[in-house]
Structure 1
Amino acid sequence: MKMADLIRLISINCGSSSIKFSILEFFGGKDTIHLKKCEIQQKLLNLKRTLTCKIEEIGTEYGSFYVEDKNHRESTSINFDNHETAINYILEKNNLFQNDENNNNRLSIDIVAHRYVHGGKDFKKPLIISDKHIKKLRTLNGLAPLHNPSNLKGLEIMRHVFPKSRHVCIFDTAFHRTIPLHARLYPLPIYFYDKYDIQKFGFHGISYTFINNLLSLDRKNFKKLIICHIGNGASICAIKAGKSIDTSMGYTPLEGLMMGTRCGSIDPEIPFILKEKLNATDDVILDILNRKSGLLGISKRTYDFKELSERDDKYSKLALKMFSYRIMKFIGQYAASLDGIDALVFTGGIGENSGTLRKEVCKNLSYAGVKINNKKNTEAAEYFQKFNPYGRLNIRNSIKSIESGKIPVFAIHTDEELQMAFEAALTAADA
């Protein structure tokens, strides 16, 4: 792929009812195609974000549009019937439609990076998408029914709008393909793995890749690393020598930690009991497990962590206690899997911004050498709540040390859009 001096990329993440959209750019130089991979990587360290848009509550009457760049931010209440109208709104709002070549004010887009939640067993690395891949991707919808159909819809829309751009899928599951078989398989009859590929796939791999790479760039090479990606969706990953050896999410993103609206790991017989007692369909039970449980289900009010932290009622307190307890429990489990901890990382919307959560999770981990410095922890939370992700990546601005014990503990701002753009640019350059 021949690259112009200025390379522009879009990173897009189409969720079930939301869209995250960033424009990034870097100066590749006219001879980028002839450079070695390591030289391209060096150029990509100058990737900078110029714009971010976010649309939420698609298909409801509570829709919102948010746009931000280095100089201003704007938030509007606006409803969208579907992902296509939402994406078209973003493109029109930012003068991005590529079908008018005579309009010099319209930005040209070289590469579009698409987050794809579940790549199944076949998609193990970033992939430039052609027509032949769409049919195969459609067969994966059932593996992540809350995410993959929306990912595919966004991919199809953007390919139609930007037919000349390279479209690269970055798979959230790819990072976890190094998990050994004994940790990947469920203790079910092996037939189900052989016939139906029932196994742990894991998620949040793009975030884990970014954090792992960021620490390496800062010369923090930890052999035994535990990363907690805590947001509305939450998971934990055990990383040994840079490779995932276990993670809390499983065949679907429902397994593992208690989350905003997802129950996480529960007794597998409970759904059958509920189905009988409620005389409910499978869809109703799945809706309970995915959308009505977790923080929302226990608090009876909200899945908003900040709001729950400010409440004083018993159900809000119970929800937060359960939430932090299960994170702590998984950290202990993965410390055993790794035979110790060299470093612990908190990232994701809640992991970065909540000093209260980090303190609560770590208070019973002193046996492993994990202790929090209260002052540093509070300062890190305040810092990330005001964090500006625009311009070029500044490694030291993205990492905050918060430990007071012998084991390093970090709060780190994850940047999935930046990681997606990085991987997409490398993949496009290799083509």
Structure 2
Amino acid sequence: MTDRRDPDRPDSRSPHSRARAVLALNAGSSSIKFGLFTQGGGGALVRLARGIVEEAGPEPRLAIQSGLGATAQERRLPAGAGTDAVLEALLATVDDRLGGTPLTAVGHRVVHGGRDFDGPAVVDADILSAIDRLTPLAPLHQPRSVEPMRIVAALRPGLRQVACFDTAFHHHLAPPVSRYAIPRAYEDAGIRKYGFHGLSYEFVAGRLAEIAPDLSAGRTVVAHLGNGASLCAMRNGRSVDTTMGFSALDGLVMGTRCGALDPGVVLHLQTAHGLSVSEVEDLLYRRSGLLGVSGLSGDMRVLAGSEDARAREAVDLFAFRVARETAALASTLAGLDALVFTGGIGEHDASVRAEICRRLEWLGLACDPARNARGDTRIDAAGSRVAVLVVPTDEESVIARYAMELGGGRKALAQA
């Protein structure tokens, strides 16, 4: 008899049926990426499925793919369906794929953990309130982290939730790296460099230790380049400096965010152009970056295919800033042994990688055109004094690991 069971769905005869299953949610501005995981032999994570819920457009779309990429499923939700309906549909789909194996935890990416959270935390009413109070530090991102937690709590009151913070990887940063040149009273009130993209950097650091332990122990700059973009200087897989600071606006040029900006520009926008605080916030978060410079799009793929000179100028500015800030982080590290590209642009755009590498040739860095075009793991040329790698990131697996580890309900808070 032919076995028609889904090979990625646990059943009563499979070791997965005795394992705990967790769902990792990574909420963006208009979509939610997710990964469904269970435990394999020795407690290792096994990805059962991955996918995305796209909320933009008239009809939200739920797309799910098996862990091996063998099967796909797509579902359109009714027009106007809110995030609550979207998550309810996602949880129902997850239940179906688990085939009776219980979902024991949901992990969430949270952009800002402030001064208190130095690691993941099991979500309860107090933790949720503490996360919500950090919204002024990340007004574009934090509400999108909090909303799914509240909805899941209402839909599945007994389901454990774990918050995983992007700032935690950089939590140990100390002066002078973490300090701004403002009166100490404001630093005492929490105005300091926090850094972001920590879940991505944590994954890349672990992966680098597996594939190139000698480089992992050295002086490395990881470039997380996507719609949001930043760099992290690492030594022994540990953050020692990063380009994002107090907010996710700082550092590199991004899809719609400005990156580092003379604070006098903000004052000028308010005093000379009459912009309100909310208008300045909208300008810097949603109408700047690649979109603002090109006047066309914040999507690097669109700009790469455009013949408009402004598109080329936006890409040039992006590469210039990445190269300049890489050199600055090399100063923090007192040298550079490896440059690692990750994120949507970093992993998939060979031309941007090539331009950044070209601008860093004075550091002894040389990119091999053929390796770069193929997207090999190592793309440095023979004789390059700096290793250049492409390492795909996987934030959802880091979230899932923490959700598994906190099965006993431990809260992880810094002791201030």
Q: In which range does the TM-score fall when normalised by the shorter chain?
A: 0.7 to 0.9
CA contact (8 A) 1:222 1:343 kept: no
> Pick from 11, 15, 20: which aligns with 2:24?
11
Residue 25 of structure 1 and its aligned partner are, at CA, apart by 1.3
Residue 62 of structure 1 and its aligned partner are, at CA, apart by 7.0
CA contact (8 A) 2:17 2:101 kept: no
Match of 1:197 in 2: 190
- Give the TM-score normalised by structure 1: 0.85
Distance 1:323 1:344 in 2: 17
> Pick from 361, 369, 389: which aligns with 1:366?
361
Distance 1:362 1:219 in 2: 20
Superposition CA RMSD, Å: 2.2
Match of 2:64 in 1: 67
> Pick from 307, 315, 321: which aligns with 1:312?
307
Q: 1:422 aligned to 2:401?
A: yes
Q: Secondary structure of the equivalent of 2:406?
A: helix
Structure 2: give runs of 5+ residues left out of the alignment: 1-15, 411-416
Residue 427 of structure 1 and its aligned partner are, at CA, apart by 2.8
User: Matches of residues 55-204 of structure 1 in structure 2 within 5 Å?
Assistant: 55-58=53-56, 61=58, 63-69=60-66, 70-74=69-73, 79-95=79-95, 105-194=99-188, 196-204=189-197
Residue 178 of structure 1 and its aligned partner are, at CA, apart by 2.2
> Pick from 250, 262, 267: which aligns with 2:262?
267
Give the partner amino acid of 1:88: E
Distance 1:14 1:96 in 2: 22
Distance 2:146 2:100 in 1: 26
CA contact (8 A) 1:227 1:237 kept: yes
Residue 420 of structure 1 and its aligned partner are, at CA, apart by 1.1
**Is the alpha carbon distance of 1:96 and 1:286 closer, same or farther for their aligned partners in structure 2, counting shifts above 3 Å?**
farther
Give the partner amino acid of 1:426: E
Distance 2:61 2:254 in 1: 23
Residue correspondences, number:
388
CA contact (8 A) 1:376 1:402 kept: yes
> Pick from 48, 52, 55: which aligns with 1:54?
52
**Is the alpha carbon distance of 1:91 and 1:4 closer, same or farther for their aligned partners in structure 2, counting shifts above 3 Å?**
closer
Give the partner amino acid of 2:52: K
Match of 2:230 in 1: 235
Residue 76 of structure 1 and its aligned partner are, at CA, apart by 6.0
Most deviating of 104-113 and 228-237: 104-113
Match of 1:292 in 2: 287
Distance 2:365 2:380 in 1: 7
CA contact (8 A) 1:168 1:428 kept: no
Match of 1:101 in 2: none
Render the CA deviation track for 1:222-267: whole Å, top value 9, x for unaligned: 3211000000000000112221111111111001100000001111
Q: Secondary structure of the equivalent of 1:199?
A: coil
Residue 275 of structure 1 and its aligned partner are, at CA, apart by 2.5
Residue 57 of structure 1 and its aligned partner are, at CA, apart by 4.0
Q: 1:281 aligned to 2:249?
A: no
Q: Secondary structure of the equivalent of 2:209?
A: helix
Distance 1:64 1:371 in 2: 42
User: Matches of residues 24-35 of structure 1 in structure 2 within 5 Å?
Assistant: 24-27=37-40
Distance 1:288 1:133 in 2: 31
**Is the alpha carbon distance of 1:355 and 1:293 closer, same or farther for their aligned partners in structure 2, counting shifts above 3 Å?**
same
Residue 304 of structure 1 and its aligned partner are, at CA, apart by 1.3
Q: 1:252 aligned to 2:250?
A: no
Q: Secondary structure of the equivalent of 2:393?
A: coil
Match of 1:20 in 2: 33
Distance 1:161 1:268 in 2: 44
CA contact (8 A) 1:262 1:289 kept: yes
CA contact (8 A) 2:20 2:102 kept: no
Distance 2:272 2:100 in 1: 58
Residue 181 of structure 1 and its aligned partner are, at CA, apart by 1.6
Render the CA deviation track for 1:67-98: whole Å, top value 9, x for unaligned: 2222233556654453212212222344469x
CA contact (8 A) 2:232 2:241 kept: yes
Residue 325 of structure 1 and its aligned partner are, at CA, apart by 0.4
CA contact (8 A) 1:112 1:165 kept: yes
Distance 2:109 2:54 in 1: 17
> Pick from 356, 362, 383: which aligns with 2:351?
356
Structure 1: give runs of 5+ residues left out of the alignment: 29-42, 98-103, 384-399
Match of 1:407 in 2: 386
Most deviating of 359-368 and 130-139: 130-139
Give the partner amino acid of 2:350: G
Most deviating of 241-250 and 203-212: 241-250
- Give the TM-score normalised by structure 2: 0.88
Q: Secondary structure of the equivalent of 1:269?
A: helix
Q: Percent identity?
A: 32
Residue 158 of structure 1 and its aligned partner are, at CA, apart by 1.7
Distance 2:80 2:367 in 1: 44
Distance 1:296 1:75 in 2: 30
CA contact (8 A) 1:8 1:111 kept: yes
